[in-house]
Structure formats: structure tokens, C-alpha cells
Structure 1
């Protein structure tokens, strides 16, 4: 029984080491964005979020007014 546990542990350790090695190799292939690109993309996301929030607010206001009109 102890022999099987040792073999399983070694198998787990070798698979873990291989996984970490493969992750390092793949991370070297990643094309990381520049600081300028990150700032530009962040600006686009911020503007998009603000516009969508304003749209949702406007639609909510219209439905609230319509509901008030129907209730009165």
C-alpha cells in the first residue's frame, strides 16, 4: 500500500512540475499590452459604462412616469 501511495505522490509532483513549466512557457508567448493601450482601453470601458448607466436611468425614469400615469 505504501508503494502505491509513493507512486501516486511522485506522479502528482511530476504532473504539477510539468504544469508549472508549461504555464511559464505559455506566459512568455503572451502579447502584453503597453501602458498606453491599457489607458486607452480603460477609457473606452469607463465611457461605455457611463453611457449604459445613463441609458438604463433614462429608461427607468420613463417607465416610472408611465407607471405613475397609469396608477393615477
Structure 2
């Protein structure tokens, strides 16, 4: 059991060391990235909405 605690402690120590190396985005970068993601989601949602309406119209025309 002693070895298990040692490896667990080692894991958290190494994880903390790696987190210190991370370059975190600034507020402006984070805002820009968020806007890009939201814009992409809106564009993809609109694409599938239009596609759904088109397929529904084709199916209605057949039936």
C-alpha cells in the first residue's frame, strides 16, 4: 500500500509540474476562440436545418 501512495503522490506532483508549463490564453484570446466556436456551431446548425427542410420537401413531393 505504501508504494500505491508514493505513485499517487508522484502522479499529482508530475501533473502539477506539467500544468505550470501550460500557456493559458488571455481574456481576449479566450473571447475570440469562444466567438469562433459559437459562430461555427451556428453555421453548422443552419446548414443542417436547411438540409432537413430540403429533404422534407423532397419526401413530401414524393408522397
In the superposition, the TM-score normalised over structure 2's length comes to 0.96
- Alignment match of 1:34 (pick from 26, 31, 37): 26
Using the alignment, how far apart are the partners of 2:58 and 2:12 within structure 1? 59
* Number of corresponding residues: 63
- Given the alignment of the two structures, is residue 15 of structure 1 paired with residue 12 of structure 2, yes or no? no
Root mean square deviation, CA, Å: 0.5
What are structure 1's unaligned runs of at least 5 residues? Answer: 1-8
1:14 CA displacement = 0.6
SS at match of 2:24: coil
SS at match of 2:7: helix
What are structure 2's unaligned runs of at least 5 residues? Answer: none
In the superposition, the TM-score normalised over structure 1's length comes to 0.85
Give CA-to-partner distance per residue, 1:7-55, whole Å, 9 cap, x none: xx10001111111110111000011111100000000011110010000
